[in-house]
Structure formats: C-alpha cells, structure tokens
C-alpha cells in the first residue's frame, strides 16, 4: 500500500493534480485506489465524478455533527474519533468500480478541524482492505500537518504557484513535516498550472528539494473544472494530463530506484 499526499497553497491546482493522477493510476491498472479529500472545501469528489449526497454518503464532519450535536452523544470516555469509526466506513465511504473515496467535509459549526482531522487520522490508520494507492488531497496551509493526518507517507507532492509566498510555503511545509515526525520516502516540488514556463532555476535551487516538473496550462481541463465535469474523462492527449503522467511516472520510477539502491 502506497500513500501519496498532495499539498500546497490554495489555488495552485492540487485537486486537479490528484484527480488526473487518479486517472493515470486507474488507466495503468494500479488499483484498488482510495481517494481521501482532506480539504474542507471538498472539491475532489466532483472532479472525479462523485456526488456523495446522491450516493447516500456523508462526510466525516457530517457524521460527527450527527453523532455529537444532533443526537447529543457524549465525548466522554471513548474518543469521538474512535466512536464514529464504523460509521465512517459504513456511511461515509463511497465505493466505486474504479476507486473508493471519503471526504472530511465542511464544518458548519464554530471550532477548529481538530476533531474531523482526528477522525480521519484514525480511519486511515485502521484501514483493513488492501488498497494499492491512497491518494490524499490536502487543504491549503500548514495547520493540518501538525495534526499528522497521515504519519507514514511514501510520496509528498507540493504544488507551487508562481509567487514568492508559494516558494516560502514549500520551505515551511518541509520543515513542519520533518519536525512533527511525519515519515516520508520522497518529497517532490511541482510547478502548478500558473507557471507559463519552468520555475526559476535559482529559486528552485534555494529550496534544496527535487523539482520534478510542472502541470501544463490546459484550457480544456480548465473548462472541465469550471463546468464541474469529471476529470477522469479528460482527453488522453490533453497537455495537463500528459504532464501529470510524466510527473507520476518519474516519481514512481525514482522511488523504485531508491528501493533498489
């Protein structure tokens, strides 16, 4: 089982990248796959053609709200994240032919995302079925890293935008990951579709992290995202999809090379 986390500042193309990565892995026969939408904005399901509500599935935030607010369940004794574990797998997990998916979801009440993130962390640590890949779409920012939603990761992709803030975010993210003890095999930097060309080599050198390519600007993909179409149906020849295929191919082959060393 390989866990791949995609992160970065908001608006860099993280979720698009995860959806196109899922398309590549599905078409390559690398299943079964679990998609995890850890972003409260919850765009991943739509991008892979899933309507959780229509499918009768609930987000982790919804399940927590039902259990501990609407039904008045106690948070004393057994941790809430443990208490709803079965509900997550029974009522929150969307099971499809090509992939499974669950989402943290949006909180509609006051307070931080500590409890939903804890429930997600617990659910991920207790997976019983053998997924070949777990793809996690992270929210923007850094706070979720301190909660160690996933503490043992194979590959981390940080998708950058064309700004100094994005470069600074990569440095901070890498430091937080290292200091909180998230174990990872490889950490790659990717240029988001906001780059019209490769990022500045000197700026990349200052990061001290491997840069593995950029997501190509692609009007077709942009229109599909805007209209809410499933990116798994993206044309095989689209520039963005071709660039993602190349990035994933490089990342996985480099990981294999490292194992053989």
Q: How confident is the model at residue 260 (pLDDT cuts 50, 70, 90)?
A: very low
CA distance linking residue 104 with residue 111, whole number of Å: 15
- What percent of the chain has a predicted confidence (pLDDT) above 70? 82
Supply 199's token pair.
Answer: 């990022």
Q: Mean pLDDT, the chain, as a whole number?
A: 83
Rounded mean pLDDT of 120-125?
Answer: 72
pLDDT reading at 95 higher than 70: yes
Q: Provide φ and ψ at 259, rounded to 5°.
A: -65, -35
Rounded mean pLDDT of 76-81?
Answer: 55
Rounded mean pLDDT of 187-213?
Answer: 89
CB 13 within 8 A of CB 192: yes
Which pLDDT score is estimated for 1? Answer: 72
Which pLDDT score is estimated for 257? Answer: 46
Q: How confident is the model at residue 158 (pLDDT cuts 50, 70, 90)?
A: very high
The domains found in the chain, sorted by start residue, are 2-260 (3.40.50.300)
Which pLDDT score is estimated for 65? Answer: 79
CA distance linking residue 8 with residue 203, whole number of Å: 17
pLDDT reading at 255 higher than 70: no
Q: What angle do CA 155, 159, 164 make, to 5 degrees?
A: 130
pTM of the model: 0.86
């Amino acid at each position: 089982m390989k866990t791949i986390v995609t992160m970065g500042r908001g608006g860099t193309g993280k979720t698009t990248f995860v959806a196109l990565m899922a398309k590549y892995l599905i078409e390559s026969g690398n299943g079964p796959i679990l998609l995890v939408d850890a972003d409260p904005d919850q765009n991943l399901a739509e991008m892979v053609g899933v309507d959780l509500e229509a499918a009768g599935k609930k987000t982790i935030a919804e399940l927590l709200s039902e259990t501990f607010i609407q039904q008045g369940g106690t948070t004393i004794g057994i941790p809430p994240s443990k208490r709803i574990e079965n509900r997550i797998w029974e009522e929150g997990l969307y099971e499809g032919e090509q992939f499974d998916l669950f989402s943290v979801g949006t909180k509609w009440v006051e307070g931080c995302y500590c409890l939903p993130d804890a429930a997600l962390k617990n659910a991920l640590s207790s997976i019983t079925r053998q997924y070949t890949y777990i793809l996690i779409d992270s929210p923007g920012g850094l706070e979720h890293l301190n909660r160690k939603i996933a503490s043992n990761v194979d590959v981390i992709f940080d998708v950058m935008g064309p700004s100094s803030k994005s470069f600074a975010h990569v440095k901070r993210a890498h430091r937080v990951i290292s200091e909180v003890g998230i174990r990872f095999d490889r950490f790659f930097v990717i240029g988001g579709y906001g780059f019209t060309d490769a990022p500045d080599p000197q700026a990349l050198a200052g990061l001290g992290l491997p840069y593995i390519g950029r997501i190509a600007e692609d009007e077709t993909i942009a229109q599909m995202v805007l209209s809410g179409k499933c990116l798994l149906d993206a044309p095989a020849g689209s520039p963005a999809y071709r660039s993602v295929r190349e990035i994933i191919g490089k990342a996985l082959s480099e990981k294999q090379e490292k194992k053989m060393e």
